[in-house]
């Protein structure tokens, strides 16, 4: 459906993200709550060895860089937003791409977003709750999470420029907070607090547990895949994307390792493993009454990652509708704000539906195996297209060892997950099979009843008028 616009410019998603915005969009979703709350996932699987845990943190950073640079090649070569969804669609099939977007929109995205939002609300409320209270009321946490998420949605709808400006500010704040932790750690090392580093490599972790440690580490590095999802809005992507990825993940890896070193200057392995919120306990020991700063830092970190996740996932949703795999209304852009308003609102609604559920972790566990398989197939496009289309223009060409390293790691984790938890993997695969059924009913089946098509058309027109949106008026790739 077409519409006259009130301004002398086409309705498109504008290229306005420079290198600093790309760096912020890479760092922000990675440094969420994990490094502040519970880095013990690695430590517990290396038998409490301080030295081996730090080695795993470094190696996970290398693997994350390998995966992110592989996506950089795909994004700068295909030049379309949508990230892994677009690469799946162009390299394989509509069904595989649909299953990925089905997982992002319905199965994985909403519960993951709800989990981060609830964590953010919990730590935002913590400094204001009386010490006499046993715990923060669950309803208060949900209401604050919904309120903050709504503000994030409004910001993403209102302005791309203000979204990435706030993102840069919040990313700077969280890096400043982590720098404070690192500096405290350096001071404590200089004061002689080194007892927890004695015999750092004592004990030999079991191979299976080391693989689980890598899995926990890569979870902490999660989010490196989001920035290429918005390539149609990035200035000079062939230059800015590789620069942002290399610099950001190098910084993140260094910050993660040094932050863990700082933790060990105040907490022994046993204390860290027993701590539900490591940064809070570290702050309580080192700065006493100022420990509430760590709680606010966790909240702001979660807020930062939520802004980036909303921004990037909305673009993937927009592209999936533009390709005809999700409802048409999701492929439309506000004629005033030049943002994908319907896609942003749809994601918000799905996240709000997940807020009251308490067993979100179980759902994410079920789907981790399927997610690993999609990642293997997606990164596998790099060597596959090198062989099939050797002469394609590649503005950025990743060393082939990087995708191979990442695929080998992810395949190991997927096999381990299948061996350790076949039931959970089976449930996850069953959920994806539901996506196959949905695909054949709503996408593959073209001759739907007239009443269904009419209802869909009327609904699309109503929402188009309500949100004042139209299809993009020229190609941006």
pLDDT tens-digit readout, 35-64: 876 677 888 888 888 999 999 999 999 999
Q: Are 70 and 406 in contact (CB under 8 A)?
A: yes
Torsion angle of alpha carbons 286, 194, 55, 375, nearest 10°? -10
Compute the average pLDDT of residues 359-384. Answer: 80
Spell out the domain ranges in the chain. 19-471
Instruction: Enumerate long-range contacts of 289-294, CB under 8 Å, 24 or more apart.
Output: 292/126, 292/127, 293/177, 294/36, 294/177
pLDDT of residue 182: 94
Q: What is the pTM of this model?
A: 0.89
CA–CA separation, 36 and 93 (whole Å): 40
Q: Is pLDDT above 70 for 130?
A: no
Phi, psi angle pair for 248, to nearest 5°: -65, -50
Average model confidence (pLDDT) for the chain? 87
pLDDT tens-digit readout, 291-333: 788 888 888 888 888 899 899 999 999 999 999 999 999 999 9
For 427, other C-beta atoms within 10 Å of its C-beta total 17
Exposed, middle or buried, 9 (CB in 10 Å: 0-12/13-18/19+)? exposed
Compute the average pLDDT of residues 232-250. Answer: 92
**Nearest residue to 42 via CA among 376, 273, 363:** 273
pLDDT tens-digit readout, 390-413: 998 899 999 999 999 999 988 887
Question: Given CA atoms 53, 41, 254, 272 in this order, what sign does their dihedral have?
Answer: negative
Helix, strand, or coil here: 122? helix
Residue 360 — very low, low, confident or very high, per pLDDT cuts 50/70/90? low
Give whole-number Cα distances, 32 to 7, 37, 43, 361, 415, in Å: 39, 9, 19, 16, 27
Helix, strand, or coil here: 223? coil
Q: Are 17 and 230 in contact (CB under 8 A)?
A: yes
Q: Is pLDDT above 50 for 2?
A: no
pLDDT of residue 274: 86
CA–CA separation, 105 and 113 (whole Å): 11
Residue 1 — very low, low, confident or very high, per pLDDT cuts 50/70/90? very low
pLDDT tens-digit readout, 173-229: 989 989 999 999 999 999 999 988 888 887 777 766 777 788 778 878 888 888 889
pLDDT of residue 138: 77
Instruction: Enumerate long-range contacts of 88-94, CB under 8 Å, 24 or more apart.
Output: 88/374, 88/377, 88/378, 88/381, 89/323, 89/325, 91/381, 91/384, 91/385, 92/377, 94/323, 94/325, 94/439, 94/443
**What's the CATH number for 19-471?**
1.20.1740.10
Helix, strand, or coil here: 159? coil
Residue 279 tokens, joined: 């940064």
Per-position DSSP letters for 245-274, written without gaps between them: HHHHHHHHHHHHHHHHHHHHHH--HHHHHH
For 158, the enclosing helix (H) or strand (E) is helix 138-158
Per-position DSSP letters for 363-375, written without gaps between them: HHHHHHHHHHHHH
Q: Which residues contact 349 (CB under 8 A, 6 or more apart)?
A: none
Phi, psi angle pair for 82, to nearest 5°: 115, -15
Residue 364 — very low, low, confident or very high, per pLDDT cuts 50/70/90? low
pLDDT tens-digit readout, 146-173: 999 999 999 999 988 888 889 899 999 9
């Amino acid at each position: 459906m077409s519409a006259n616009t009130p301004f002398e410019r086409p309705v498109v998603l504008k290229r306005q993200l420079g290198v600093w915005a790309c760096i912020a969009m890479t760092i922000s979703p990675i440094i969420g709550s994990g490094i502040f709350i519970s880095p013990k996932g690695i430590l517990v699987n290396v038998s409490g060895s301080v030295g081996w845990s730090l080695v795993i943190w470094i190696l996970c950073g290398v693997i994350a860089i390998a995966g992110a640079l592989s996506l950089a090649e795909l994004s700068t070569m295909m030049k379309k937003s949508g990230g892994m969804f677009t690469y799946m669609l162009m390299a394989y099939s509509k069904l595989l791409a649909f299953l990925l977007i089905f997982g992002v929109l319905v199965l994985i995205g909403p519960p993951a977003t709800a989990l981060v939002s609830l964590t953010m609300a919990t730590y935002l409320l913590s400094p204001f709750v009386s010490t006499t209270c046993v715990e923060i009321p669950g309803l208060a946490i949900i209401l604050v999470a919904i309120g903050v998420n709504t503000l994030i949605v409004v910001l993403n709808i209102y302005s791309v420029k203000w979204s990435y400006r706030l993102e840069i500010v919040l990313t700077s704040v969280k890096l400043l907070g982590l720098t404070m932790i690192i500096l405290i750690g350096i001071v404590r090392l200089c004061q002689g607090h080194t007892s927890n580093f004695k015999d750092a490599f004592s004990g030999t972790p079991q191979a299976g547990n080391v693989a689980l440690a890598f899995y926990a580490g890569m979870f902490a590095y999660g989010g490196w895949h989001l920035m290429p999802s918005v390539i149609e809005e990035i200035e000079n992507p062939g230059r800015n994307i590789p620069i942002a990825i290399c610099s950001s993940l190098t910084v993140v890896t260094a910050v993660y390792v040094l932050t863990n070193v700082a933790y060990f200057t105040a907490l022994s392995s046993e204390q860290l493993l027993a701590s539900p919120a490591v940064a809070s306990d570290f702050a309580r020991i080192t700065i006493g009454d100022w420990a509430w700063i760590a709680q606010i830092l966790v909240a702001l970190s979660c807020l930062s990652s939520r802004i980036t996740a909303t921004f990037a996932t909305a673009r993937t949703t927009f592209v999936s509708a533009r390709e005809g795999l999700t409802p048409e209304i999701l492929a439309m852009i506000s004629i005033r704000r030049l943002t994908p308003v319907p896609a942003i609102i749809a994601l918000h609604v799905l996240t709000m539906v997940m807020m009251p559920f308490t067993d979100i972790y179980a759902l994410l566990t079920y789907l981790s195996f399927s997610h690993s398989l999609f990642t293997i197939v997606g990164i596998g496009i790099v060597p596959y297209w090198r062989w099939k289309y050797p002469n394609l223009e590649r503005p950025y060409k990743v060393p082939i060892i990087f995708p191979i390293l990442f695929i080998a790691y992810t395949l190991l984790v997927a096999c381990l997950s299948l061996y350790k938890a076949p039931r959970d993997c089976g449930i996850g695969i069953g959920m994806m099979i539901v996506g196959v059924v949905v695909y054949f009913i709503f996408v593959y089946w073209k001759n739907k009843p007239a009443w269904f098509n009419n209802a869909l058309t009327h609904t699309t027109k109503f929402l188009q008028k309500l949100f004042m949106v139209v299809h993009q008026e020229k190609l941006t790739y």
